[in-house]
Amino acid sequence: MSATTREGAPEDALNVLWLQSGGCGGCSMSLLCADSSDLFADLADAGIRLLWHPAFSEQSGRQAHEVLLACLDGELRLDVLCLEGAVMCGPEGTGLFHVLAGTGRPMMAWVRELAAVARHTVAVGSCAAFGGVPAVGHQPGDVTGLQFEGDLAGGLLGPDYAARGGLPVINIAGCPTHPDWILETLANLALGELDARALDAFQRPRFYADHLVHHGCARNEYYEFKASAEQPGDLGCLMEHLGCKGTQAHADCNLRAWNGEGSCLRGGYPCVGCTEPGFEQPSHAVWQTPKVGGIPVGLPTDMPKAWFVALAALSKSATPRRLKENAVSDRRRLIPHVSKTEPS
Amino acid sequence: MSRIVAGPFNRVEGDLEITLDVEAGRVRRAYVNSPLFRGLERAMLGRPALDALFYAPRVCGICSVSQSVAAAAALAEVAAIRQPRNGELARNLLLATENLADHLTHFYLFFMPDFARDAYAAHSWSRGIRERFQAIHGTATADAVPARARFLHLMGHLGGKWPHTMSLQPGGTARAIEGGEKARLLKVIREFRRWLERHFFGDALEAFADLGSQSQLERWATRAAPSRADFGRFLGLAEALDLASLGRGPDRFLSYGTHWEAGRPLFPPGVWSEGTVHPLRLDRVTEDGARAWLAGGQRPLPPHEGVTEPDIHAGPDAYTWCKAPRLDGMTLETGALARQLVSGHPLMADLVCQSGSNVRNRVVARALELARVLPRMEAWVKAIDPAAPFRTPLPAALNGQGVGRVEAARGSLGHWVSVENGQIRRYQIVAPTTWNFSPRDRDGVPGPLEQALVGIPADGGDGGVAVQHVVRSFDPCMSCTVH
């Protein structure tokens, strides 16, 4: 019998323990935005059982504490340990920036021990993956990801860590994560479809990280003709002036919509590359593209620089008036030519 | 006297620990510990001013837009610019969407599941309540989560995504709305209205918003449709368990005012005490780090002079990472109850007059807000003028101080910023739960929750259900609290 009910997942379901540490809880909040008619039934039907989640579960205090202990002593099978938020190792390696409430022990210690018994370990969000925003302003080593600190392999668990199932930490990077990135990672683990080949160099699931944010961007026509926005809110491409990293950032944000039909670009602001390690501390103002000699420093991934410059110059010389004018406006001033009307 | 250390205190946003000194089965003293320090204010120091729009929302995954609004407002004050009408409307819509969605999340996911716990198994109502409200498995979760997700489509339209939008700008919004989009926005709002009227109220929003007294509320709750709907079932529990007698706070309330309509707030700012609304004096706000693991706690400081420097050796009196905010030296409760009370709504005034702030009244206030704000959202969409500007440009150079204040779902949120030559020199955040879950100050005066827990029956490893109801009735957000 494959059907599950609201009473929960079948016996062989994947047992998931979810912990939160140095983060904002936004990845869990984003998960609740899943485009689903019944999120928790979807999880159960995918063969996923939540042992405990800090925002959703009934058990509080000692009952919750006991779930963690049961995982450690093997009484409960821990199939997936999910950590949301960075690992707080500071100050000075004590872990006292986050002592898990009611337990008197730093969360860092809980995570290290649970990761040692987990079949899979999953970093939910860029904080748990790489350290992320909470790492800014702290000493190196004080705030870190599970297996990376920024783009350096290591983190809390070390570069050689593998969970009992054989995989390194699975990094669902993003700030926040798209609900589907979490659901599909867990569902693929339950299916047995997620192996080492399914992860990229930063151990992100390739089903979303093999894309660039640029793919499917609604501003692509402006990009093609290098018709660039100058102010926040302008409709043009945000790459040349407004700091957009969509042509370099690995994610499918413009292929699968956020909250119905959104994306950062559709919201009028640049991609900050939130799935990339180090995005939290750009070397430039967030709203400004760093340039050398008038040319953006961060060119599109895989594009030879000379070709980009040559093509950009050519495109600019061919930019239709419609795009040139709309690019620096927050509303479409000119519309595409309609064949039955007189050309403008 | 025995001691209970309750934690991890779940179904709140972030991690929370409550220490209870218990005597004869009741709480004698309570200490609230916000156990996580991230230091987001420090992350912004030295950054270009507009980068605050990137960092501020990431303070919190559930009050993300509120943090954005506060940051944008603080920078607007530095820049001495005002936003155009359309910017005001777009900001109202984004903020109201977050606040109302948070009220829904609180009711269904955080607060009501406690009534489905084994502690109530002997009550005649237990089975039905459990079927509906049990955490994760209850039918209400199945109904409410998708309704919330669909309502948050407004964020996709107006803010690109939620949480962590950067559409909100000091001068308005970076996402202009075209005429043809209004119908789409209205459809989302009306769908949520339909959901609330069917499942939550069992009545029209306006019918609930028009209730003017406790006796009217009680009569309304006995009518057939409302009594069967989810909020009516809560009112039934509130009566059965006397939730109006649980968790009385300081009975002084703070609201910064919110939802601007042509420059005037729909819910005005003010401080309510002893039946009177006093003008808000932001210059009287201080934060005291005496009981926090923070350095430099020699005296309470106004936020424009505040610092946040962790110091784990801060001394034996420290028991949290949270500072103690005070206004004129007083503790204040903030949240939907404060907002509705300061706004002068007769139902809230009567409830507070009869029983002060308590578990029931805090939950009623959120319901009242759902009923009052959603119809305004429809009006705001209609008022958008697609031909008019959505954003006032910023001046080239930014210098000076600014305060951004906003009402988040959980209450009054303030950002105090100092900008020098375009760079952030100081950034201090005082969040709603910083007020509500304040620790003691240097004079030993407990914060609102610490006060509200005194006298509550307590037992077991999590303090017992009464303690759980009181804590969650504030809808705490621990991510914001210490930030």
The verdict on a CB contact (< 8 Å) between A101 and B142 is no
C-alpha B209/C-alpha B407 separation (Å) is 20
DSSP string computed for A164-210: TTS---EEE--SS--HHHHHHHHHHHHHT---GGGB-TT--BHHHHT
- Asked if residues B250 and B331 have their Cβ atoms less than 8 Å apart, the reply is yes
Domain range summary for chain B, segments of one domain joined by +: 2-482
Predicted pLDDT at B449: 98
The verdict on a CB contact (< 8 Å) between B35 and A101 is yes
Q: What is the mean pLDDT of residues A97-117?
A: 98
For chain A, the average pLDDT equals 94
- Please tell me the CATH superfamily of domain A213-330, with its number: Cytochrome-c3 hydrogenase, C-terminal domain (4.10.480.10)
Among A residues 185-214, those touching chain B with beta carbons less than 8 Å apart: none
Shortest Cα distance, chain B CAs vs residue A74, angstroms = 21
- Which chain B positions have a beta carbon within 8 Å of A285's beta carbon? 47-48, 50-51
pTM equals: 0.97
- Asked if A174 is an interface residue toward chain B (Cβ–Cβ < 8 A), one would say no
Shortest Cα distance, chain A CAs vs residue B360, angstroms = 21
- Asked if residues B243 and B469 have their Cβ atoms less than 8 Å apart, the reply is yes
Tell me whether domains A14-209 and A213-330 share a fold: no
CATH code assigned to B2-482 = 1.10.645.10
- Asked if B9 is an interface residue toward chain A (Cβ–Cβ < 8 A), one would say yes
Predicted pLDDT at A1: 34
Alpha-carbon dihedral angle through residues A326, A331, A336, A339, given to the nearest 10 degrees = -140
The verdict on a CB contact (< 8 Å) between B393 and A231 is yes
The verdict on a CB contact (< 8 Å) between A25 and B48 is no
Q: Identify the CA nearest to B9 among candidates B483, B455, B453, B454.
A: B453
Which of A16, A19, A29, A331 to probe by mutation at the B interface, max B CB count within 10 Å?
A: A29
Predicted pLDDT at A5: 42
Task: Give yes or no for residue A4 having a pLDDT over 50.
Answer: no
Tell me which residues of chain B have a pLDDT lower than 70: none
Predicted pLDDT at A342: 61
Domain range summary for chain A, segments of one domain joined by +: 14-209, 213-330
DSSP string computed for B180-240: GGHHHHHHHHHHHHHHIIIIIISS-HHHHHT--SHHHHHHHHHSHHHHHSHHHHHHHHHHH
Half-sphere exposure of A154 (CA within 13 A, CB side): 8
Predicted pLDDT at A295: 86
Predicted pLDDT at A286: 97
Q: State phi, psi for B217 to the nearest 5 degrees.
A: -60, -45
pLDDT in tens, A283-323: 999 999 999 988 888 888 888 888 988 999 999 999 999 99
- Asked if A98 is an interface residue toward chain B (Cβ–Cβ < 8 A), one would say yes
Shortest Cα distance, chain B CAs vs residue A107, angstroms = 10
First-to-last alpha carbon distance for chain B, in angstroms, is 34
Share of chain B above pLDDT 70, in %: 100
Size of interface A-B (CB pairs under 8 A): 285
Give strand pairing partners of A237: A228
Predicted pLDDT at A6: 47
Nearest chain B residue to A229 by CA distance is B174
Q: What is the mean pLDDT of residues A115-125?
A: 98
C-alpha B170/C-alpha B87 separation (Å) is 9
The structural architecture, per CATH, of the domain A14-209 is: 3-Layer(aba) Sandwich (3.40)
Shortest Cα distance, chain A CAs vs residue B159, angstroms = 5
The verdict on a CB contact (< 8 Å) between A98 and B15 is yes
Name which of B39, B141, B149 is nearest A34 (Cβ-Cβ).
Answer: B149
Q: What is the mean pLDDT of residues A23-40?
A: 97
Q: What is the mean pLDDT of residues A184-206?
A: 97
- Which chain B positions have a beta carbon within 8 Å of A330's beta carbon? 174, 176, 389-391
- Which chain A positions have a beta carbon within 8 Å of B53's beta carbon? 286-287
Q: What is the mean pLDDT of residues A5-31?
A: 87
- Asked if A91 is an interface residue toward chain B (Cβ–Cβ < 8 A), one would say yes
- Asked if A139 is an interface residue toward chain B (Cβ–Cβ < 8 A), one would say no
Distances (CA, A) of B118 to B7, B26, B413: 18, 20, 36
Structure tokens at B193: 């209205």
- Which chain A positions have a beta carbon within 8 Å of B173's beta carbon? 233, 268
- Asked if B46 is an interface residue toward chain A (Cβ–Cβ < 8 A), one would say no
Predicted pLDDT at B100: 98
Predicted pLDDT at A298: 83
C-alpha A294/C-alpha A302 separation (Å) is 20
Structure tokens at A321: 């008036």
Nearest 5°: the CA angle A178, A180, A184 is 135
- B53 Cα distance to chain centroid: 20
Share of chain A above pLDDT 90, in %: 89
Task: Give yes or no for residue A341 having a pLDDT over 70.
Answer: no
